């Protein structure tokens, strides 16, 4: 017989654990939102720089991208959380997690944005230059609007991967939905129900984003056929 | 008064010398044709005039501003130089009207209302006013190229450059574009035109410049150039395009 404190039956157990899991999920969403904001800013700035002719600053960006793409996310997270303190840089688990997610996803966003901008034909750049448009106006009105169509589908796909990476933060014990789920499971011994809900939360975010990515990709295909 | 002064310009790409020591000046209201076999450096020379290519040596002056010097000069000078490309290069994500008003509103800082009325006037002139809301992929090649000419003219340039503007067009559309160019020439626009269209050269050009291997080998009036070219390479070229 189940101890009544943990509820009984699927709905009984669920009613007990859902409020706790939802708090964890809210944390997951907050880590995601912050790291998405910072990651996209990194991607936009570095993507623009590395697609420009500022060759001097391109090299450090390439090194950064190689490091981020060449290491498992978990190692990046551990370096920031466990290694940096030896160099006098200490973050709380939450900040370490958000920072790791930001710089890791930022590298991928950089590559996607750089690729999108570079795939706009030089002739568009030249037409804009010939009109006398400044770099800023050229990007704002001519290049970026066209690049966006190419950038959005892979960006949406990368945002899904980024979201799923938030689960890794549970390994430095931030109170995200995965950590909370594991704690709840250790208490009530109901892994099926607990991780059923945890999985449902992740799917509730990922599935619409995957749909969106697919939609954007199809739209891009059709517009390419048209032009 | 000359609008364009090209002094001893040399431009190379790696080991390839595209333009070699070219000197040329173009007077106000003059229409100059640059022709020559492919790879002669015609387009490169043209692109040096609005700074899309930076010459390795020599000077280019447009309207008494040296564009081969200071970058700020170049930005200023580009407002006065319209260019029409072989492949139109319209902005595909903007309709015709927005293609025409982008430069004037952002670079010339003309009010939107003024830019729109100027755009409508130009489209009327091109016979394309009904396409004002169309997107570039809804236009035929000839229409797209006339919109591209209108886009360049919307900036009120003092000089117009045409880089093989009719080479990518179907034969039946070439005439529409050439008519617009000839009309522009008759209105007194200063024009430098890279083309092989002899009909246009005879109708509108004041001078023909013939280039081979990056050098100017002959400069003559269109009548003289097409009927009795002096240089053997010009003779060969003229014979080829006449189709003898």
Confidence of residue B98 (pLDDT cuts 50, 70, 90): very high
pLDDT more than 90, % of chain A:
79
Mean pLDDT for all residues in chain B? 92
**CB < 8 Å to A123, chain B:** 85, 87, 89
What predicted TM-score, i.e. pTM, was given to this entire model?
0.86
**CB < 8 Å to B91, chain A:** 124, 127-128, 141-142, 146
| Neighbour tally for A141: CB within 10 Å | 19
Beta bridge partners of B26: B4
Tens of pLDDT, residue by residue over B192-221, are: 999 988 888 888 899 999 999 999 999 999
Assigned superfamily of A8-226: MetI-like (1.10.3720.10)
Task: Please tell me the predicted confidence (pLDDT) of residue A130.
Answer: 94
Q: How far is B180 from chain A (nearest CA, A)?
A: 20
The span from the first CA to the last CA of chain A, in angstroms, equals: 67
Cα–Cα distance, B69 to B74 (Å, whole number):
8
Confidence of residue B244 (pLDDT cuts 50, 70, 90): low
Residue given tokens 């589908």 in the structure block: A153
Do A68 and A42 contact (CB within 8 A), yes or no? no
Tens of pLDDT, residue by residue over B153-172, are: 999 999 999 999 999 899 88
Q: In what order do the strands lie in the sheet with B159-163?
A: B81-84, B159-163, B190-194, B31-35, B207-212, B215-220
Confidence of residue A9 (pLDDT cuts 50, 70, 90): confident
Residue B243 has pLDDT above 70, yes or no: no
Question: Helical H runs in B127-214?
Answer: 141-153, 171-186, 198-204
Tens of pLDDT, residue by residue over A30-61, are: 999 999 999 999 999 999 999 887 778 888 99
Do B209 and B46 contact (CB within 8 A), yes or no? no
Task: Please tell me the predicted confidence (pLDDT) of residue A4.
Answer: 58
| Contact at CB, A127 and B137, closer than 8 angstroms | no
A129 interface with B at CB cutoff 8 Å: yes
Task: Please tell me the predicted confidence (pLDDT) of residue A67.
Answer: 96
The Cβ-side half-sphere exposure at B31, using a 13 Å CA radius, reads: 21
Task: Please tell me the predicted confidence (pLDDT) of residue A227.
Answer: 43
Residues 6+ away with beta carbon under 8 Å from A199 = none
Task: Please tell me the predicted confidence (pLDDT) of residue B70.
Answer: 81
Q: Between B89, B103, B152, which is nearest A126 by CB?
A: B89
As a whole number of Å, the CA-based R_g of chain A is 22
For residue A127, give the chain B residue with the closest CA: B89
Task: Please tell me the predicted confidence (pLDDT) of residue B199.
Answer: 84
| Contact at CB, B89 and A142, closer than 8 angstroms | no
Domains of chain A by residue range: 8-226
Residue B51 has pLDDT above 60, yes or no: yes
Cα–Cα distance, A108 to A65 (Å, whole number):
8
Residue B49 has pLDDT above 90, yes or no: yes
Distances (CA, A) of B232 to B210, B212, B225, B237: 12, 11, 12, 9
Tens of pLDDT, residue by residue over A77-124, are: 999 999 999 999 999 999 999 999 999 999 999 999 999 999 998 999
Residue A84: both structure tokens together: 């940096």
Q: How far is A75 from chain B (nearest CA, A)?
A: 43
Residue A169: both structure tokens together: 């933060």
pLDDT more than 90, % of chain B:
72
Tens of pLDDT, residue by residue over A182-211, are: 999 999 999 999 999 999 999 999 999 999
Torsion of CA B225, B24, B85, A134, to 10 degrees: -170
Do A36 and A162 contact (CB within 8 A), yes or no? yes
| Average pLDDT score over residue span B78-92 | 94
Cα–Cα distance, B157 to B103 (Å, whole number):
11
Task: Please tell me the predicted confidence (pLDDT) of residue A224.
Answer: 58
Tens of pLDDT, residue by residue over B121-145, are: 999 999 999 999 999 999 999 999 9
Do B97 and B133 contact (CB within 8 A), yes or no? yes
Give the closest residue to B48 by CA, choosing from B32, B67, B64. B67
Residue A200: enclosing H or E segment and its boundaries?
helix A191-226
Residue B13 has pLDDT above 60, yes or no: yes
| Contact at CB, B89 and A137, closer than 8 angstroms | no
B112 interface with A at CB cutoff 8 Å: no
| Contact at CB, A127 and B91, closer than 8 angstroms | yes
Residue A2 has pLDDT above 50, yes or no: no
| Contact at CB, B85 and A127, closer than 8 angstroms | yes
A126 interface with B at CB cutoff 8 Å: yes
| Average pLDDT score over residue span A1-11 | 70
């Amino acid at each position: 017989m189940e101890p009544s404190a943990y509820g009984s039956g699927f709905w009984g157990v669920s009613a007990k654990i859902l409020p706790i899991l939802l708090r964890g999920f809210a944390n997951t969403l907050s880590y995601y939102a912050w790291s998405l904001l910072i990651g996209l800013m990194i991607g936009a700035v570095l993507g623009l720089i590395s697609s420009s002719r500022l060759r001097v600053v391109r090299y450090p960006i390439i090194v950064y991208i190689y490091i981020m793409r060449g290491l498992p996310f978990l190692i990046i997270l551990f370096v920031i959380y466990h290694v940096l303190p030896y160099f006098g840089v200490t973050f709380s688990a939450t900040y370490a997690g958000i920072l790791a997610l930001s710089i890791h996803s930022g590298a991928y966003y950089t590559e996607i944005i750089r690729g999108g901008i570079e795939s706009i034909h030089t002739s568009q750049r030249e037409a804009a230059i010939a009109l006398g448009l400044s770099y800023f106006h050229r990007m704002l009105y001519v290049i970026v609007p066209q690049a966006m169509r190419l950038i959005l589908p892979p960006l949406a796909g990368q945002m899904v991967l980024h979201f799923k990476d938030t689960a890794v933060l549970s390994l430095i014990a931030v109170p995200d939905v995965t950590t909370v789920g594991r704690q709840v499971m250790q208490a009530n011994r109901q892994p099926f129900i607990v991780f059923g809900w945890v999985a449902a939360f992740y799917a509730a975010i990922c599935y619409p984003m995957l749909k969106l990515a697919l939609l954007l990709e199809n739209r891009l295909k059709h517009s390419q056929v048209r032009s | 008064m000359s609008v364009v002064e090209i002094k001893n310009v040399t431009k190379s790409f790696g080991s390839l010398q595209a333009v070699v020591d070219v000197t040329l000046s173009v007077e106000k209201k003059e229409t100059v044709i640059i022709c020559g076999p492919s790879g002669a450096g015609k387009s490169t020379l043209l692109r040096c005039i609005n700074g899309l290519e930076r010459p390795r040596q020599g000077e280019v002056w447009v309207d008494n501003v040296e564009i081969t010097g200071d970058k700020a000069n170049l930005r200023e000078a580009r407002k006065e130089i319209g260019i029409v490309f072989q492949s139109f290069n319209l902005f595909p994500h903007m309709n015709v009207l927005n293609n025409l008003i982008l430069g004037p509103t952002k670079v010339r800082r003309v009010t939107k209302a003024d830019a729109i009325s100027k755009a409508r006037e130009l489209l009327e002139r091109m016979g394309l006013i009904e396409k004002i809301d169309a997107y570039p992929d809804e236009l035929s090649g000839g229409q797209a190229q006339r919109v591209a000419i209108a886009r360049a003219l919307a900036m009120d340039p003092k000089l117009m450059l045409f880089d093989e503007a009719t080479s990518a067009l179907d034969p039946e559309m070439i005439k529409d574009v050439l008519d617009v160019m000839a009309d522009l020439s008759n209105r007194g626009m200063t024009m430098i035109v890279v083309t092989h269209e002899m009909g246009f050269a005879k109708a509108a050009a004041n001078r023909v410049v013939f280039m081979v291997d990056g050098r100017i080998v002959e400069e003559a009036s269109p009548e003289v150039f097409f009927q009795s070219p002096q240089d053997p390479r010009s003779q060969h070229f003229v014979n080829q395009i006449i189709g003898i």
